[in-house]
Structure 1
Amino acid sequence: MAVAAMLAVQLSNALSVGVVEQVGAAGTAWLRMCFGTMLLWMIARPAFRSLRRKDVPALIVLGVVTGFMTAFFLGAVERIPLGTAVAIEFLGPLTVAGLMSKHRKALVWPLLALVGIVLLTEPWHGDIDLAGVGLALAAGACWGLYNVFTQHVGDRFSGISGLSLTIPVAALATMPAGLPQVIGADFTWWVLPAAAGIALISPVIAFGLEMLALRHMTHTAFGTLLSVEPAFGILLGLLMLGQTPALMQLLGVAIVILAGAAAQRDGTRPVAPVPESALELQKGS
């Protein structure tokens, strides 16, 4: 499920490039969250009956970081290659894995990944896009928080019902930046159905698979698998966008993957908790 989710996320990002050209990064993110809400509510009703007051902060945080993670990342992909953006963004969850590790020496791995990112961006050539790098780093910070709160929400709500509560929050969070871009754009007819199709891939399928996967895995195990996501970004960037990496950039991606894999230890959750919302519904019936 985790590997399928990673492929789905990177596929949706590659497919979003054409939509971004029409309505901008924030507009594309907002459309994806809006269509994602519609699709999720058709598939899974929001679990309003099992919602408790103490659940609300986590749901709001997860929704906000989900929306901005997508918007920041699409903004980065406007400026830098897809694989490079994924590798920079990966610093977020890698740093979270290091901080949550029992061993403080695990923090060396984000530093090693930083070396790989320097090789990827090749700043000595003088043509590095600082805005693109900054947006990818912002997306990475959101990604780290996203992994933490996705596991928490996934433990509380059965299936993907948690997503049906958080993706509407993501749509609301990105609306101030996204709606003006969509209204002000002179886009062609295919943009809306394309955004709807991309939303089915991510957030609906991809984020749903991640939420289910994190019910059975620790952040470290999940991070082990996430370490190959920059490679998926490079591959899809090459196949779908014609972005051919240089040899030095491939070496940088390899270092990022190595750092991500080395940072992860002891990754299986001993018991996958039964979502509390499912238990409450069973009691009620």
Structure 2
Amino acid sequence: MPNLNNRPHLLALVLLLIAMISMQSSGALAKILIDQFPIMTISALRLLLGSLILAVIFKIWQIHFKDVRWKAIISYGMALAGMNALFYLSIDRIPLGIAVAFEFIGPLSVALFHARQKYDFIWVGLAILGLALLFPFAQADQSLDPLGIAFALGAGACWALYIMAGQRPSGVSGNHTVCLGMFVGMLCLMPIALFLGMPAHVFEPSNLIYFIALAVLASALPFTLEMIALRNLSALSFGTLMSLEPAIAALSGFVFLHEQLLWTQWLALAVIISASMGCTFTAQQAKNTINKN
């Protein structure tokens, strides 16, 4: 059995895989909670508890708040709030794996927008083919909720904004940016959750433990593991592995929620993953070429 401590690259791959499984398992947990609590309540509490946990992990008190560029933090937090709420609204209507696949179009679009390689048209074509295969045209009883699709695409758009906002200088470290951004996102969603009605029993210990678990699975654990993994992974390896998220989400939906996908939809996930991996590879190659010149 290999000693992972002596193989930092392999250890990083394992940690990143655990992070992705944790993130997509949190989607399955959120879908279970949606049957019992309002979606906005789940979204707001996840960001609140997640920001508090990350504040402790990343020692938020060490921030020099005078250096914080709040414009960047606020835009980042608003994108995070939209991505979080719209994704939970989507999985209430369509299977988890399909929701993640539609949402993944957001970061894929950002990557394709910045790529300038001759293979770009192939990745665009694969992404379009994957989207087409997601729709079960021949099986009326398996039709997808159009509003669920719209919510997932909206979450993907917010994910794209989240990526662009996260690249702006915020005056603090990336970890502190995530923590502050989650708190801003919570401030965006909490008034809506309170206005729509937040059940008092969510704060009962028997229920609150599930929201804490959601915050850990969706935020604290994956962000911490990704931070460790990135120390020993190239951007190419990281981006390629993250492309597996739709498949992991589909498996999570199958295992925890007993969601069944058509063979064409499994094929669609494979096509979208291939497009994302290819895009990541060519984008990295282009970056390496520019750096050499």
Q: TM-score, normalised by structure 2?
A: 0.79
Q: 1:19 aligns with which of 24, 30, 33?
A: 33
After TM superposition, the structure 1 = structure 2 runs for residues 139-178 of structure 1, keeping only pairs within 5 Å, are: 139-152=155-168, 156-157=172-173, 160-178=175-193
Q: Which residue of 2 aligns with 1:241?
A: 257
Superposed CA offset, 1:170-213 (max 9, x none) = 10111233233452587694332201111012222223444666
Distance in 2 separating the partners of 1:16 and 1:149: 25
CA distance in 1, matches of 2:201, 2:129: 41
Of 67-76 and 220-229, more deviation after overlay is shown by 220-229
In the alignment, does 2:210 pair up with 1:202?
A: no
1:267 aligns with 2:281: no
CA 1:161–1:258: 2 relative to 1, 3 Å: same
- 1:98 partner SS: helix
Which string of whole-angstrom CA distances, capped at 9 and with x for unpartnered residues, describes residues 6-40 of structure 1?
A: 22210111111121122222221111011112222
More moved, 70-79 vs 194-203: 194-203
Name the aligned partner's letter for residue 33 of structure 1.
Answer: L
Quick check: 1:109 aligned with 2:152? no
Equivalent position amino acid for 1:49 in 2? H
User: Could you tell me how far apart the structure 2 residues matched to 1:26 and 1:184 are?
Assistant: 11
Q: Does structure 1 retain, via aligned residues, the 8 Å contact 2:67–2:172?
A: no
Residue 33 (structure 1) aligned with residue 50 (structure 2): no
Contact 2:127 2:271 in 1 (8 A): yes
Residues 33 and 199 in structure 1, CA contact (< 8 A), matched pair in contact too: yes
- State the SS of the aligned residue for 2:64: coil
Residue 291 (structure 2) aligns with: none
- Mapped contact 1:16–1:198 kept (Cα < 8 A): yes
Partner amino acid for 2:198?
I
- Unaligned stretches of 5+ in structure 2? 1-14, 289-293
Asked whether 1:84 is paired with 2:98, we answer: yes
Give 5+ residue unaligned stretches, structure 1: 271-285
Q: CA deviation at 1:41?
A: 2.6
State the number of aligned residues: 268
CA contact (8 A) 1:73 1:135 kept: yes
Distance 1:50 1:113 in 2: 42
Q: 2:76 aligns with which of 62, 66, 75?
A: 62
Code of the residue aligned with 2:22 in structure 1: it is A
> What is the alpha-carbon root mean square deviation over aligned residues?
2.9
Deviations 1:121-140 (A, max 9, x none): 31454532100000000111
2:135 is the counterpart of 1:121: yes
Q: Is 1:250 paired with 2:266?
A: yes
Write out aligned runs for 1:35-54 (5 A): 35-46=49-60, 47-49=62-64, 51-52=66-67
In structure 2, do the counterparts of structure 1 residues 145 and 208 end up closer, same or farther at CA, with 3 Å as the change threshold?
farther
SS in 1 for 2:198: helix
8 Å contact kept, 2:79–2:161:
yes
Q: Please tell me the residue identity of whatever aligns with 1:199.
A: A
What is the match of residue 244 of structure 2?
Answer: 228
- The answer to whether 1:179 aligns with 2:186 is no
